[in-house]
Each structure stands twice: as structure tokens, then as C-alpha cells.
Amino acid sequence: MKDLDFATLLSVFQEMMGPLLWLLVLLAVAGIAAFLFVLVREGGLKGGRLVRSELIGVAGGFMALVIMAWVTVSGFTDAGGPVDWLLIGIIWGIGVVGTTILAYAVMGLVAMMRGSKRIA
């Protein structure tokens, strides 16, 4: 395997994760769209909501590691070298960022729905 392209990565992830891959991709796209909607609608970030979503994001990072261990059928004791630990850190970081964005979007949408009920 000399070349690594998108089709190869997609095939490997599809084989490892099955339908969970597409669920996570759909969740990521919907979360980013909702975050952008909330950001544009409110005209910026809200500090308190951002801090709460960052705290939730830390738990999401650990959940990403649990999913990684489940999907790969391996544990953290199987990590052999520095590249393995770097990959574990990257997966945790992606979980933190993704969960933070998703939590912020959900909290923003909930706040918008509560606000519209008060006006009506």
C-alpha cells in the first residue's frame, strides 16, 4: 500500500465502524450546521454557554476514546509507541472539539425555543 487516498481511508473506516461511521458523519455535519445557525442568529458566542459546553466537551473526549477502544477491539495497554499515543491524543482532541460544538449548538437551539415560547 504505497498510496493513501480518500477512497482507501473511507474503506478502512467503513470496515472498522460499519453503520456507526455514517451516523457519526451525519451527527458532525448536523452539529456544525446547527452551531453556525446559532452563531449567526445570536450574533456571536455567549460566554456562559461556551464554558458549559467546554465542560461537556471534556466528557465527549473521553467518550471518543471509549468508542475508539470499542471499534478497534484493543485497549490503551496495546499502544506501543509515541505515534500510538499521539493518535490517542488526537482522537481525544477531536472528541472534545466535536462535543463542544454540538453541546453549544444544542444549548443555543434550546434557548431559542424557550425564548420563542415566552414571546408568543
Give me the number of domains the chain comprises. 1
pLDDT for 119: 44
Q: Please state, in angstroms and rounded to a whole number, the distance separating the CA atoms of residues 39 and 82.
A: 38
Q: Specify the range with the lowest mean pLDDT, choosing from 18-27, 28-37, 88-97, 109-118.
A: 109-118
Averaged over 42-56, what is the pLDDT? 94
- The pTM assigned to this predicted structure is 0.82
Q: Has residue 10 been placed in a domain? A: yes
Domain with 60 in it = 6-119
The burial of 5, by beta-carbon neighbours within 10 Å (0-12 exposed, 13-18 middle, 19 or more buried), is given as: exposed
Q: Please state, in angstroms and rounded to a whole number, the distance separating the CA atoms of residues 14 and 48.
A: 38
Q: Has residue 1 been placed in a domain? A: no
| Percent over 70 (pLDDT), the chain | 92
Residues 6+ apart with CB under 8 A from 78: 84
Q: Has residue 68 been placed in a domain? A: yes
